[in-house]
């Protein structure tokens, strides 16, 4: 049967549920179920009951199902992308909705292709010992609203491959996207291996304290991450925490500003800046400062922003009003401090939707709140620096450390600088690209634990040594 946008939506709509709004028009997209703690507890009990049979299947079986799930996503790309665009706001086109749906399928395939962890530790006169990675049981996942489908797959695919069952609590802003994704996956997976329970932070808190959740994957703000550490303490729950960031980029004086402008732009403005590992503060050497500002401004002005369903657009609205207000307030503080609005900075208050214009702010002090606080939107402060030591000190000066980048025509020099930056990933001449085989995670208050590749599989497993 062909899946259409209407059939997808009708399967997940709850007439008694909560209205979910399109951030571009503020129209209702649909009504999502809003479940209570008892419903969550029941889902966890079903996941626990289903887990032994899922773990007893062969790894070949589980891999085959992940590959079939990827094919099912491919077959539903257009309706999934349309729902994602309507609910999250991101355009269909560009590195946005279709790209996100495609990434879900890619990640499932890559997870199936990853070598399982486990190795011989000792095999000789010293004795014999092997390291095994067993399923943990039920893995819980709590996600944010910025890349709702892709992050869900990041959280659940390794858990499923390793023989765990999963219970997902999506963001209350984007539950429809995750429910629809799960329906497509569940057309292939056995019952109760993947369950989505839609609700707000109360359900998240229950998931993080529940005794039958053996591991929790959390992606969201550092504030909520802290709450989860506390609520999960009594059950000594294993946690992977992918938290907030405020990524720095350092541009060295040897760059060709025109050649890097497009990549700098997308490093900062992918998903209209609503990306944890987006470039959020750019430090540019004084020798190339004016040229980088000019080239970046030219690229920024050429990128159309508007409703995601219009194929011309590559930038969309902020997903919600609260996020819009955070961005608007931080840009206002920058303006009040005397910084220059190189591009944007003046939203149209009367226009429908939560659109904030693409904004580049120059002549701004490194201590300005637009630089030091996570604004999570389409604004980029560009700070001038004189020496590399000064730039590294500024980059390392915050308590977060998710990603960072160094831009230079000398790759070796850039790698030496990268080694001095406190971040989980440092990219050279790009920013934010992730690959399913390359581990990803933050340091400092950006969280702990790694996703992707064999490290991702280990993170959802119980390590066991058999010795003797």
Is 167 in contact with 207 (CB distance < 8 Å)?
A: yes
Give the footprint of ligand NAD on this chain (CB under 6 A): 142-146, 169, 171-172, 200-201, 204-205, 208, 219-221, 224, 227-228, 242-245, 276, 374, 376, 402, 442, 446-447
CB of 217 or CB of 252, closer to ligand NAD: 217
CB of 40 or CB of 81, closer to ligand NAD: 40
User: Tokens at residue 204, please?
Assistant: 């998240």
CB of 242 or CB of 455, closer to ligand NAD: 242
Say which of 82, 242, 374, 455 is annotated catalytic: 242
CB of 216 to ligand NAD, least distance (A): 9
CB of 275 or CB of 358, closer to ligand NAD: 275
CB of 66 or CB of 217, closer to ligand NAD: 217
Between CA 7 and CA 1 the distance in angstroms is 10
Burial of 352 (0-12, 13-18, 19+ CB in 10 A): middle
- CA-to-CA separations, 307 to 67, 88, 145, 149, in angstroms, rounded: 33, 11, 17, 19
CB of 59 or CB of 325, closer to ligand NAD: 325
CB of 318 to ligand NAD, least distance (A): 11
CB of 220 to ligand NAD, least distance (A): 3
Q: Which residue is nearest to ligand NAD (CB)?
A: 204
CB of 253 to ligand NAD, least distance (A): 30
CB of 111 or CB of 219, closer to ligand NAD: 219
CB of 244 or CB of 344, closer to ligand NAD: 244
Q: Three-state SS string across the chain, please?
A: CCCCHHHHHHHHCCCCCEEEECCCCCCEEEEECCCCHHHHHHHHHHHHHHHHHHHHCCHHHHHHHHHHHHHHHHHCHHHHHHHHHHHHCCCCCCCCHHHHHHHHHHHHHHHHHCCCCCEEEEEECCEEEEEEEEECCEEEEECCCCCHHHHHHHHHHHHHHCCCEEEEECCCCCHHHHHHHHHHHHCCCCCCCEEECCCCHHHHHHHHHCCCCCEEEEECCHHHHHHHHHHCHHHCCEEEEECCCCEEEEECCCCCHHHHHHHHHHHHHHHHHCCCCCEEEEEEECCCHHHHHHHHHHHHHCCCECCCCCCCCCECCCCCHHHHHHHHHHHHHHHHCCCEEEECCCCCCCCCCCCCCCEEEECCCCCCHHHHCCCCCCEEEEEEECCHHHHHHHHCCCCEECEEEEECCCHHHHHHHHCCCCCCEEEECCCCCCCCCCCECCEECCEECCECHHHHHHHCEEEEEEEC
CB of 322 to ligand NAD, least distance (A): 8
Between CA 380 and CA 370 the distance in angstroms is 8
Pairing of strands 443-444, 400-401: antiparallel
CB of 143 to ligand NAD, least distance (A): 6
- Catalytic residue check, 242: yes
CB of 175 to ligand NAD, least distance (A): 9
CB of 170 to ligand NAD, least distance (A): 6
CB of 140 to ligand NAD, least distance (A): 10
Is 461 in contact with 135 (CB distance < 8 Å)?
A: yes
CB of 339 or CB of 395, closer to ligand NAD: 395
Active-site positions read 242
């Amino acid at each position: 049967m062909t899946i259409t946008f209407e059939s997808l939506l009708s399967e997940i709509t709850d007439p008694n549920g909560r209205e979910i709004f399109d951030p571009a028009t503020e129209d209702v997209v649909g009504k999502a179920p809003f479940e209570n703690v008892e419903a969550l507890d029941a889902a966890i009990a079903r996941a626990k009951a289903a887990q032994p049979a899922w773990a007893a299947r062969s790894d070949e079986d589980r891999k085959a199902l992940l590959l079939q799930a990827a094919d099912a996503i491919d077959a539903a790309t257009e309706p999934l992308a349309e729902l994602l665009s309507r609910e999250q706001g991101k355009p269909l086109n560009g590195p946005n909705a279709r790209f996100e749906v495609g990434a879900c399928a890619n990640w499932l395939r890559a997870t199936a292709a990853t070598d399982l962890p486990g190795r011989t530790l000792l095999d000789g006169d010293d004795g014999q010992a092997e390291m095994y990675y067993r399923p943990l049981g039920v893995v819980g996942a709590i996600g944010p609203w910025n890349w709702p489908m892709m992050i869900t797959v990041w959280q659940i695919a390794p858990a499923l491959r390793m023989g765990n069952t999963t219970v997902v609590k999506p963001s209350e802003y984007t539950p429809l996207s995750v429910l629809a994704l799960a329906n497509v996956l569940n057309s292939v997976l056995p019952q109760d291996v993947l369950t989505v329970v839609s609700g707000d932070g109360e359900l998240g808190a229950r998931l993080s304290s529940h005794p039958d959740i053996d591991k929790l994957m959390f992606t969201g703000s550092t504030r909520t991450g802290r709450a989860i550490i506390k609520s999960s303490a009594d059950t000594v729950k294993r946690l992977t925490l992918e938290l907030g960031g405020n990524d720095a980029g350092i541009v060295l004086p040897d760059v060709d500003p025109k050649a890097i402008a497009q990549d700098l732009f997308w490093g900062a403005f992918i998903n209209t800046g609503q990306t944890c590992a987006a470039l959020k503060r750019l430090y540019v050497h004084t020798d190339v400062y004016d040229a980088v500002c000019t080239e970046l401004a030219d690229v920024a002005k050429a990128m159309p922003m508007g409703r995601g369903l219009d194929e011309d657009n590559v930038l969309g609205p902020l997903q919600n009003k609260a996020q819009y207000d955070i961005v608007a307030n931080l840009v206002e503080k920058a303006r009040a401090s005397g910084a220059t609005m190189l591009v944007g900075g003046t939203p149209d208050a009367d226009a429908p939707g939560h659109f904030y214009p693409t904004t580049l702010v120059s002549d701004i002090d490194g201590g300005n709140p637009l630089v030091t606080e996570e604004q999570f939107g389409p604004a980029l402060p560009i700070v001038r620096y004189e020496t590399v030591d000064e730039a590294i000190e500024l980059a390392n000066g915050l308590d977060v450390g998710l990603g960072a980048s160094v831009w230079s025509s000398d790759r070796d020099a850039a790698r030496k600088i990268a080694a001095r930056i406190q971040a989980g990933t440092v990219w050279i001449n790009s920013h934010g690209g992730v690959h399913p085989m390359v581990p990803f995670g933050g340091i400092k208050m950006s969280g702990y634990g790694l996703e992707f590749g064999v490290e991702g599989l280990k993170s959802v497993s119980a390590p066991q040594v058999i010795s003797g």
